[in-house]
Copies of this chain bind each other. A is one copy, B any other.
Amino acid sequence: MTDGAARTATATQPLSPRQLDDLHAWWRAANYLSVGQIFLMDNPLLREPLRPEHIKPRLLGHWGTTPGLNFIYAHLNRVITARDLDMIYVMGPGHGGPGPVASAWLEGTYSEVYPEISQDAAGMRRLFTQFSFPGGIPSHVAPETPGSIHEGGELGYSLSHAYGATFDNPDLIVAAVVGDGEAETGPLAASWHSTKFVDPRRDGAVLPILHLNGYKIANPTVLARIERTELDQLLRGYGYTPYFVEGSDPEPMHQAFAATLDHCLDEIAAIQHRARHEGDPARPRWPMIVFSSPKGWTGPKTVDGKQVENYWRAHQVPFGDARADAHRAVLEHWLRSYRPEELFDANGAPVPRIRDLHPVGDRRMSANPHTNGGALVRGLDLPDFRDYAVEVSQPGATLAEATRVLGGFLRDVMRANSTTFRMFAPDENNSNRLDAVLDVTDRAWNAETLPTDDHLAPDGRVMEILSEHTCQGWLEGYLLTGRHGLFSCYEAFIHIVDSMFNQHAKWLRTTNRIPWRRPIPSLNYLLTSHVWRQDHNGFSHQDPGFIDHVVNKKADVIRVYLPPDANTLLSVADHCLRSRQYVNVIVAGKQPAPQFLNMADAIVHCTKGIGIWEWASSDAGERPDVIMGCAGDVPTMETLAAVDILRDLFPDIKIRVVNVVDLMRLQDDREHPHGLSDRAFDALFTPDVPVVFAYHGYPWLIHRLTYRRANHHNFHVRGYKEEGTTTTPFDMCVLNQIDRYDLAIDVIDRVARLQPTAAHARDHLENKLIQHRVYIREYGEDPPEIVRWRWRSADHRPGDGG
């Protein structure tokens, strides 16, 4: 941008002088309220000269992007009213928090949800004071901001959130501002390609607005400093038709932006009409806007002789020390430049011309129900998960692939909820054995197809792109607007979205404390292809630490489940799909594995979340000599195999097997709502009996969860300790000493050391280990003895215990 003129693709002047004046007045009002939030704690209407004590002692906030966000807001309001649009606004540069707060206050929504922030001078004073102030509201767009589904913390997810919101919402248009700083992030760069996964018939539309603001915190932005022709190519390469609006002089900019916006909305309407009514199957080139305006637009041009407007100095608070005379004068001049006396009436409320500009009721972007998805959500129509049960006549006798069984259930969930449920996976849906869902839908795909392709269609509801970030962002957008979903992912690579999980979990925790935010469906992760079955992919694919990451977040929003077999997985999945406001992490294997519980027992076990498996125990209700705890499918299998071995070697040892499905049960009830009381915990693990615990993940998590328990010093935990390579499943267990032999040795060392046969038994087990490893290295597969192992006890019926 080299001058103040506005350049645009269209030359029309769609705004009448009156319309232009009104739009400009709204923008001035929003800007005034934004500057007020950053600087003022009193004298909100400038009815008296600005004195030092009117100004906040700590100045915090981001001005730079705010006027641009406000400009767009005003223009969106015009077209919402003119076209009766169902539109929401996603602001990638969410640090421009003062903007949408100002707009929500102008629209009245703010006072509706926060009555103490009334639409008058007193309310305006509180509006200003609370901003970025202790006990007030964050400086970013946040859950507290009406009309937002997109926190302005971490950058990169505006487009994927926007697209997620439009899926199955055919009448919704999401205006999504992408900051040019944000545009440098990987997740944002990938998410432009969402256009290949949108169906113009069943989905709504995203109108991306790339905001070329020019600067980040301390650097120019890449997209603002490549040639415009290059940027045009990039955006066309992403599949869009870009329209450029550039300038700094408000009047032509208003005309240019209004004309461009009209043009884009006409194009969106035409695309939807062609697809919906003329059967045009071509992938549309969706319109988008490149909006280039000065950073800190309408703010001071210079302060202390240094450039501020259109420079990085405008990024946050453009100048400090605002209580001092010189800067206070700059501030007062700046604020008065918006002519507040024309914008607010004697009481401090917006004047009618401002009130008249914005839409009413649910059409206000700050009040659109899609942005408070919990207000729209309907429960899933769930088939009875018991109908998908694996037949288990006796524990461990049959094999099944747990996630494949789950796939059957999910297929019918998908069938029964054709506009409110989607599944997401980074090219792993079938690898994760969930391919049954493709019986009732397809993978979303709106790029070229070939005759050999299968299950690809624009209206598919299995969302697969090789980007965990995009999958997560889409799903979040879908959930935040009140729908349901499941993200299946290789366990190791879910760490790719660690930081996105953080932001979503923090969103949930915060909304739990905001009464007007209604509960939304939980974010459900199914982590499979897990650490113990990476014989194919090896060390780089072995990391069970997402659980550790998750449990760092507030207990009231996170849940972790480790179902040991297919029926427990079904029960857990049903529970998770019914839940609200959680992040549910389910870890389950996809390989053929022994099944332990019939459905009746599975339900009982999952309801308790943790329990003694009496059919596998030999303590007969008495005080055991040792407790073998287990959590996770492979650890459970190895534990049972160890019990098997120990019963042969030491028939007199009384073993109790405790299986954990709901990991949070281990924590105490003061730490987590699912936590067991100390009494209940001691009833399972006793206060003093040795515990050998085989855990799916990093072993120290079990210590962390149990460190306050009476018996904690007796816990000996085996888990993944970063030993792994490309090898067989059993060898993976051996490398990490969580295999049946090592577990049996652990028990011997704790409770049978003094028995006369202990040394012999230990030798026997260690020899077994050596023999097995020799076999594995010779033949490249697990010994038949391991592969064919099944739980021994035909005489123990699953109904015997819980």
Give residues in A with beta carbon < 8 Å to B: 41, 56-58, 60, 95, 132-140, 142, 151-156, 181-182, 184-193, 196, 216-222, 225-227, 230-239, 307, 311, 427-431, 443, 445, 447-450, 452-453, 456, 464-470, 492-493, 495-496, 498-499, 502-503, 506, 509-510, 535-541, 543, 545, 548-549, 552-554, 698, 700, 703-704, 707, 712-713, 722, 725-728, 731, 776-777, 779-781
* Given A137-B726, A233-B237, A722-B509, A503-B540 contact (CB < 8 Å): yes
Is the CB–CB distance between B780 and A134 below 8 Å?
Answer: yes
Report chain B residues within 8 Å CB of A536.
60, 132, 139
Whole-angstrom distance between the Cβ of A158 and the nearest chain B Cβ = 13
In the A-B complex, the 8 residue pairs with the smallest Cβ-Cβ separation, listed nearest first, are A234-B237, A153-B540, A186-B186, A189-B189, A233-B237, A225-B447, A186-B190, A184-B466
Is the CB–CB distance between A186 and B184 below 8 Å?
Answer: no
Tell which of B185, B239, B469, B722 touches A553, judged by Cβ atoms closer than 8 Å: B722
Is the CB–CB distance between A226 and B196 below 8 Å?
Answer: yes
Q: Give the copy number.
A: 2
Is the CB–CB distance between B181 and A731 below 8 Å?
Answer: no
Is the CB–CB distance between B498 and A510 below 8 Å?
Answer: no
Beyond A186-B189, A196-B226, A235-B237, 16 extra complex contacts between A and B, CB < 8 Å: A57-B779, A58-B535, A135-B776, A137-B726, A138-B537, A139-B536, A154-B496, A186-B188, A186-B467, A216-B466, A217-B427, A217-B428, A217-B430, A221-B466, A230-B239, A700-B707
Is the CB–CB distance between B190 and A185 below 8 Å?
Answer: yes
Is the CB–CB distance between B777 and A135 below 8 Å?
Answer: yes
Report chain B residues within 8 Å CB of A712.
707
Whole-angstrom distance between the Cβ of A407 and the nearest chain B Cβ = 14
Is the CB–CB distance between A139 and B538 below 8 Å?
Answer: yes
Whole-angstrom distance between the Cβ of A572 and the nearest chain B Cβ = 25
Q: CA–CA, A654 to B240, complex, Å? A: 70
A545 to B, closest residue via Cβ = B552
Is the CB–CB distance between A465 and B222 below 8 Å?
Answer: yes
Is the CB–CB distance between A453 and B185 below 8 Å?
Answer: no
Report chain B residues within 8 Å CB of A191.
186
- 9 CB contacts below 8 A, A to B, read A58-B728, A184-B467, A186-B469, A218-B429, A220-B456, A227-B448, A233-B237, A234-B236, A498-B498
Is the CB–CB distance between A236 and B233 below 8 Å?
Answer: yes
Is the CB–CB distance between A237 and B239 below 8 Å?
Answer: no
Is the CB–CB distance between B57 and A780 below 8 Å?
Answer: yes
Is the CB–CB distance between A153 and B58 below 8 Å?
Answer: no
Tell which of B190, B448, B496, B700 touches A225, judged by Cβ atoms closer than 8 Å: B448
Is the CB–CB distance between B431 and A218 below 8 Å?
Answer: yes
Whole-angstrom distance between the Cβ of A782 and the nearest chain B Cβ = 9
A496 to B, closest residue via Cβ = B499
* Given A185-B190, A218-B429, A726-B238 contact (CB < 8 Å): no
A499 to B, closest residue via Cβ = B495
Is the CB–CB distance between A196 and B220 below 8 Å?
Answer: no
Tell which of B95, B227, B427, B552 touches A722, judged by Cβ atoms closer than 8 Å: B552
Tell which of B239, B698, B727 touches A552, judged by Cβ atoms closer than 8 Å: B698
* Given A57-B780, A548-B549, A138-B540 contact (CB < 8 Å): yes
Is the CB–CB distance between B222 and A231 below 8 Å?
Answer: no
Q: CA–CA, A581 to B537, complex, Å? A: 24
Among the interface residues A57, A230, A238, A726, which one has the most CB atoms of the partner chain B within 10 A? Answer: A726
Whole-angstrom distance between the Cβ of A198 and the nearest chain B Cβ = 13
Q: CA–CA, A577 to B21, complex, Å? A: 60
A183 to B, closest residue via Cβ = B466
Q: CA–CA, A665 to B539, complex, Å? A: 27
Report chain B residues within 8 Å CB of A726.
60, 132-134, 136-139
A227 to B, closest residue via Cβ = B448
Whole-angstrom distance between the Cβ of A464 and the nearest chain B Cβ = 5
Is the CB–CB distance between A154 and B540 below 8 Å?
Answer: yes
Tell which of B466, B777, B780 touches A58, judged by Cβ atoms closer than 8 Å: B780
* Given A186-B469, A189-B190, A538-B139, A780-B552 contact (CB < 8 Å): no
Q: CA–CA, A185 to B497, complex, Å? A: 12
Report chain B residues within 8 Å CB of A779.
57
A443 to B, closest residue via Cβ = B219
* Given A193-B222, A216-B427, A540-B140, A467-B185 contact (CB < 8 Å): yes
Report chain B residues within 8 Å CB of A155.
466
A557 to B, closest residue via Cβ = B722
Among the interface residues A189, A231, A429, A703, which one has the most CB atoms of the partner chain B within 10 A? Answer: A189
Report chain B residues within 8 Å CB of A139.
536-538, 726
Is the CB–CB distance between B196 and A190 below 8 Å?
Answer: no
Is the CB–CB distance between A776 and B134 below 8 Å?
Answer: yes
A731 to B, closest residue via Cβ = B134
Is the CB–CB distance between B777 and A134 below 8 Å?
Answer: yes
Tell which of B137, B447, B722 touches A554, judged by Cβ atoms closer than 8 Å: B722
Report chain B residues within 8 Å CB of A58.
535, 728, 780-781
A501 to B, closest residue via Cβ = B495
Report chain B residues within 8 Å CB of A443.
219
Whole-angstrom distance between the Cβ of A672 and the nearest chain B Cβ = 12
Report chain B residues within 8 Å CB of A231.
237
Is the CB–CB distance between B781 and A57 below 8 Å?
Answer: yes
Whole-angstrom distance between the Cβ of A508 and the nearest chain B Cβ = 11
Report chain B residues within 8 Å CB of A453.
220
Is the CB–CB distance between B537 and A727 below 8 Å?
Answer: no
Q: CA–CA, A780 to B323, complex, Å? A: 15
Whole-angstrom distance between the Cβ of A687 and the nearest chain B Cβ = 14
Is the CB–CB distance between A538 and B138 below 8 Å?
Answer: yes
Whole-angstrom distance between the Cβ of A255 and the nearest chain B Cβ = 27
Whole-angstrom distance between the Cβ of A629 and the nearest chain B Cβ = 16
Report chain B residues within 8 Å CB of A450.
220
Is the CB–CB distance between A449 and B225 below 8 Å?
Answer: yes
Whole-angstrom distance between the Cβ of A296 and the nearest chain B Cβ = 13
